[in-house]
Structure 1
């Protein structure tokens, strides 16, 4: 009998995961909209104290569209330049790649065999063009997100008032407290992440110029955009320039230098600069972050890779609100989680 509640919870979790996967066309823009609302609500609230609510909403949405459009356009431009370069230099890249494969096979590295059957320049070109195409065609997704954001910003005051009603206590006050903390931490997370991304983009651009890498500005733009995705983004931003250094310089030594240098840049900024800015308030277990990134990537693809950590932050804060789930918040935190007093 004691196993039945556990089996029931497991079955419920499986059903929820299945729902999130099969209904992702609704839940993904909704998750992004809630994330954006948490980021821009202080601006909306400050503006609507000085002007009519609808005008404040228009200004807030205009600023949001500008920021999202700027980052999206920069990413699409970087990957577009990359795809164009690869298309023009595909023959040279393929020749060098085959020479390296032949050399490795001559030295008895058998693992190269399966790779040669699945990887070639055509596959790499398709991969890069696919990313650039997705970035260029996210207009419909962005419009749906902005519709949710607009409706949500109009509803925030009324929703908070309903949470303060006596009939929804003590859960209403707990949700208000959790929502305020989530908004604060998500805003700090994005400020820190944005500063680190901009710094990463400029440093990578400067290194590419010094190293003589072609498409230096594109590498900087790609590094800036991908740095918003923990672990997976910096990895891709490191591997791509290394592969293209092989084709450009036709030297494995230069490729190794590029690879090591880019990893040092990512390590210094990610392991020193970001923690210095974020302080103790955003400490989450690195394992939990990796799991969140891969789990939500599995469910929602590239969008899940970006939104996975904000969802984890919200989950940890909500778990910390209830005594029965604080053990989860403690396990998912990198240090002792902030104590939450019961009302």
Structure 2
């Protein structure tokens, strides 16, 4: 009986396209379930990275203590970040009360410039916004955030606890060694992509935050460390974080220095230059060399994952797209999508490996000697 003919390329691509749409709809519908799990997996990869760094970079560090130490370090980092935001945020909002006369002066200037004779005050604007109507929404949002954070920690605990059985599950799922080796390579590529993303965003975020802190100290902007720390945290959201850090400090410079526009202008120009150099020179080069992702795809993935999962989707947009690109590259019907997502058209790095002489590409069978003997 002859083998059935493969489906036409058009039919295959149409099926892949419909499958992508159906998968996106399922992710949007199940976002309350999938978002905490995705964040927990991301944190688990981060903890595992800390553990491997401790074993590789710290001489004589016991391997059995690497994972507990990484968990403690991660908790301390998140705790310190939370404390810095809460402690400095309290002083920041207390200081905003002293800026009320300055805000009234700025509002009066803007009102007179556009032809309004009687300028409103900041108190009247706040009363018109009716803040009591937003208290319930804010409380509900905070409750949802707290419950999501608890759920993420529960998922993280179970993922770390079941980490030891992962190798046995892989052996049971893929009993044949070549198939198991190929899937382990895929998992390691995804893990390395997430680690590279963390490293790139941390390094570039520190560059931007330190340079912004220096500029804000030179113009004597209040709460310079608080603004620099917020800019560092916002840097983990591609593109959007830079926009937030570039516009908010100059706006508050207008409030702090109502008699002169020069501090705000200098701050805005300096931050624009910092974000332009890091975002358009350093970051694309690091992403292209490490993540092998097209810069346009980074922007598109931010919009897509943000529409699907909101702020957590924006935060996870790049590592999720890296994982999707590597998974799609494993199948012939979806490989063309992975090629479009990659920077150099080689999502798995096979061309680089074959060019360096590290052996045949995964799709090429190893050549046997003419004598017919097998390789050892």
Q: What TM bracket, shorter-length normalisation?
A: 0.7 to 0.9
- Return the offset for 1:328: 1.6
SS of 2:165 mapped into structure 1: helix
* 1:79 to 1:316, Cα distance in 2 relative to 1, 3 A: farther
- Return the offset for 1:298: 2.1
- TM-score, normalised to structure 1, is 0.78
Distance 2:88 2:190 in 1: 32
SS of 1:89 mapped into structure 2: helix
Match of 1:307 in 2: 316
Distance 1:254 1:25 in 2: 44
1:30 is matched with which residue: 34, 37, 50? 37
- 2:170 aligned with 1:160, yes or no? no
2:336 is matched with which residue: 319, 327, 331? 327
Mean CA deviation greater in 205-214 or 61-70 = 61-70
2:157 is matched with which residue: 138, 145, 150? 150
Mean CA deviation greater in 31-40 or 234-243 = 31-40
* 1:82 to 1:168, Cα distance in 2 relative to 1, 3 A: farther
- Return the offset for 1:329: 2.0
SS of 2:329 mapped into structure 1: helix
- 2:325 aligned with 1:316, yes or no? yes
Distance 1:168 1:81 in 2: 61
Match of 2:192 in 1: 184
Match of 2:210 in 1: 202
Match of 2:264 in 1: 255
Give runs of aligned pairs for residues 86-101 of structure 1, distance below 5 A: 86-101=96-111
- 2:141 aligned with 1:141, yes or no? no
Cα deviation, 1:189-235, whole Å, max 9, x if unaligned, reads 21222122223222211110101212211111111111111100010
- Return the offset for 1:102: 4.1
Match of 2:279 in 1: 270
1:174 is matched with which residue: 174, 182, 186? 182
Instruction: Check the 8 A contact 2:190/2:326 in 1, yes or no.
Output: yes
**Which structure shows the bigger proportion of residues in helix conformation?**
1
Greater Cα radius of gyration, structure 1 or 2: 2
- Return the offset for 1:301: 2.1
Instruction: Check the 8 A contact 1:75/1:225 in 2, yes or no.
Output: no
- 2:77 aligned with 1:70, yes or no? no
- 2:362 aligned with 1:341, yes or no? yes
SS of 1:284 mapped into structure 2: coil
- TM-score, normalised to structure 2, is 0.72
Match of 1:109 in 2: none
Instruction: Check the 8 A contact 2:250/2:264 in 1, yes or no.
Output: yes
- 2:244 aligned with 1:236, yes or no? yes
1:291 is matched with which residue: 280, 300, 303? 300
Distance 1:288 1:100 in 2: 40
Distance 2:126 2:270 in 1: 25
Instruction: Please report the RMSD computed on the Cα atoms of aligned residues, expressed in angstroms.
Output: 3.7
How many pairs does the alignment contain?
323
Mean CA deviation greater in 6-15 or 200-209 = 6-15
Instruction: Check the 8 A contact 2:193/2:319 in 1, yes or no.
Output: no
SS of 2:236 mapped into structure 1: coil
* 1:171 to 1:324, Cα distance in 2 relative to 1, 3 A: farther
Match of 1:111 in 2: none
Structure 2, unaligned stretches of length 5 or more? 1-6, 56-60, 116-124, 351-360, 366-376
Distance 1:9 1:321 in 2: 13
- Return the offset for 1:137: 8.2
2:224 is matched with which residue: 196, 199, 216? 216
* 1:121 to 1:244, Cα distance in 2 relative to 1, 3 A: farther
Distance 2:257 2:271 in 1: 17
